């Protein structure tokens, strides 16, 4: 989701030659554009802090590795009359030994629906209200045997009450034949692994980051649906020269059971397969690979070219490689924070009879 991406992009690392403040407040205006929202405006004040134990460690050794914790209070209104309230957070404790991230929010949204799997339909508009909670709690493991980067293991929790408030009366959702088409309640728990060896958070030139997850949705946790999801999201970064970086992203998501349409594996959006509307293609399973070459143009200005291919699958066919979805495009970057190489991102992507414009902060992956 874009909101969590924006929050992550605003995480600011501290210079190693001084002890940072224990607490700071950054009042941030919010503006972005995506095909799903058009222009969105709002505010997102961000609280940055470190726990007392970590401040003590920094005062004793200013070169100690202690990332800042952050909590953002966000609100936005879009040209599509969507309303969003959200509180993303990420907490680091005991020299990053413990890492907790997630989001709590309430959204009054509208989306276009294009069908499920190989059953595609003309786009139909539906409206939905949903509170959502996502929490991932990790602890660093195997620190003594991993020479580069940090490996975390932990638990995950998700809650989402997807209240569909209106549908196209002549559309597929109105028939009630689409799982979750008239609403669903998700409540699930699971396990996760997270590995990070990037040399920078916002614009890596080397290293990799991997997020592997298992999530069970069942009545045990309060859900009214039953399914399991297994997913892996891996990105790696390779310097081609002093002025060019190759970034690669691999993503797979597999579902067993009957997932509601809003919780299926998706292609499209600001992060995966730019050029397609978010959820333009959805099914039980998905796999994709995308790449991006990032290069300097002049001083703070940079450029990118990107492309990707994704495939979907279901119970009958785990994946359908004979029916690929491709997307490609180009964009510009403007560095607003040279120390951390934090960029404003402007992209235009193309798909099969589809295209999209994106204005936001931070890289797609």
Distance (Å) of CA 202 to CA 128, 237, 297: 32, 12, 18
Angle (nearest 5°) at CA 194 between 191 and 200: 160
Q: Give tens-digit pLDDT for 136-169.
A: 999 999 999 999 999 999 999 999 999 999 999 9
pLDDT of residue 306: 98
Mean pLDDT for 185-192 is 98
Q: Give tens-digit pLDDT for 110-132.
A: 999 999 999 999 999 999 999 99
Dihedral of alpha carbons 139, 146, 233, 34, sign: positive
Look up the CATH number of domain 2-361. Answer: 2.40.160.50
Q: Alpha-carbon distance 164 to 181, whole Å? A: 8
Give the residue with greater pLDDT, 244 vs 1: 244
Give the residue with greater pLDDT, 6 vs 345: 345
Q: Is the pLDDT of residue 227 over 50?
A: yes
pLDDT of residue 11: 42
pLDDT of residue 64: 77
pTM of the model: 0.89
pLDDT of residue 65: 76
Q: Position of tokens 């509601």?
A: 260
State the SS3 of 156-184: EEEEEEEEEEECCCCCCHHHCCCCCCCCE
pLDDT of residue 339: 80
Q: Is the pLDDT of residue 323 over 80?
A: yes
Q: Is the pLDDT of residue 4 over 70?
A: no
Mean pLDDT for 254-259 is 96
Q: Give tens-digit pLDDT for 177-188.
A: 999 999 999 999
Q: Give tens-digit pLDDT for 35-68.
A: 999 999 999 999 999 999 999 988 888 777 788 8
Q: How confident is the model at residue 2 (pLDDT cuts 50, 70, 90)?
A: very low
Q: Give tens-digit pLDDT for 229-238.
A: 999 999 999 9
Give the residue with greater pLDDT, 249 vs 24: 249
Domain ranges of the chain: 2-361
The count of other CB atoms within 10 Å of the CB of residue 189 is 18
């Amino acid at each position: 989701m874009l909101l969590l991406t924006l929050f992550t992009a605003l995480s600011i690392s501290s210079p190693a030659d001084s002890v940072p403040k224990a607490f700071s407040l950054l009042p941030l205006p919010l503006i972005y554009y995506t095909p799903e929202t058009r222009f969105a405006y709002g505010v997102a004040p961000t609280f940055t802090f470190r726990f007392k134990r970590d401040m003590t460690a920094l005062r004793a050794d200013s070169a100690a590795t202690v990332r800042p914790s952050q909590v953002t209070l966000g609100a936005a209104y879009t040209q599509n009359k969507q309303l969003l309230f959200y509180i993303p957070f990420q907490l680091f404790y005991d020299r990053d030994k413990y890492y907790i991230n997630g989001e709590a929010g309430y959204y009054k949204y509208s989306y276009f629906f294009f069908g499920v799997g190989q059953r595609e339909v003309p786009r139909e508009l539906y409206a939905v209200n949903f509170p959502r909670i996502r929490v991932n709690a990790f602890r660093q493991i195997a620190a003594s045997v991993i020479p580069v980067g940090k490996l975390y293991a932990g638990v995950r929790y998700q809650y989402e009450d997807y209240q569909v408030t209106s549908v196209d009366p002549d559309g597929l959702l109105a028939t009630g034949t689409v799982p979750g088409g008239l609403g669903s309640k998700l409540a699930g728990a699971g396990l996760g692994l997270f590995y990070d060896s990037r040399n920078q958070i916002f614009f890596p030139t080397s290293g990799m980051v991997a997020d592997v997850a298992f999530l069970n949705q069942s009545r045990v946790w309060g859900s009214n649906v039953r399914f399991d999801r297994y997913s892996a999201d891996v990105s790696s970064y390779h310097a081609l020269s002093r002025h060019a970086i190759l970034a690669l992203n691999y993503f797979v998501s597999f579902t067993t059971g009957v997932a509601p349409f809003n919780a299926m594996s998706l292609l499209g959006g600001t992060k995966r397969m730019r050029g397609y509307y978010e959820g333009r293609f959805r099914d039980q399973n998905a796999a994709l690979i995308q790449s991006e070459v990032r290069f300097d143009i002049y001083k703070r200005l940079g450029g990118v070219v990107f492309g990707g291919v994704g495939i979907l699958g279901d119970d009958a066919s785990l994946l359908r490689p004979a029916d690929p979805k491709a997307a490609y495009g180009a964009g510009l970057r403007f560095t607003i924070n040279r120390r951390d190489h934090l960029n404003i991102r402007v992209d235009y992507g193309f798909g099969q009879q589809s295209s999209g414009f994106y204005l936001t902060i931070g890289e797609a992956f």
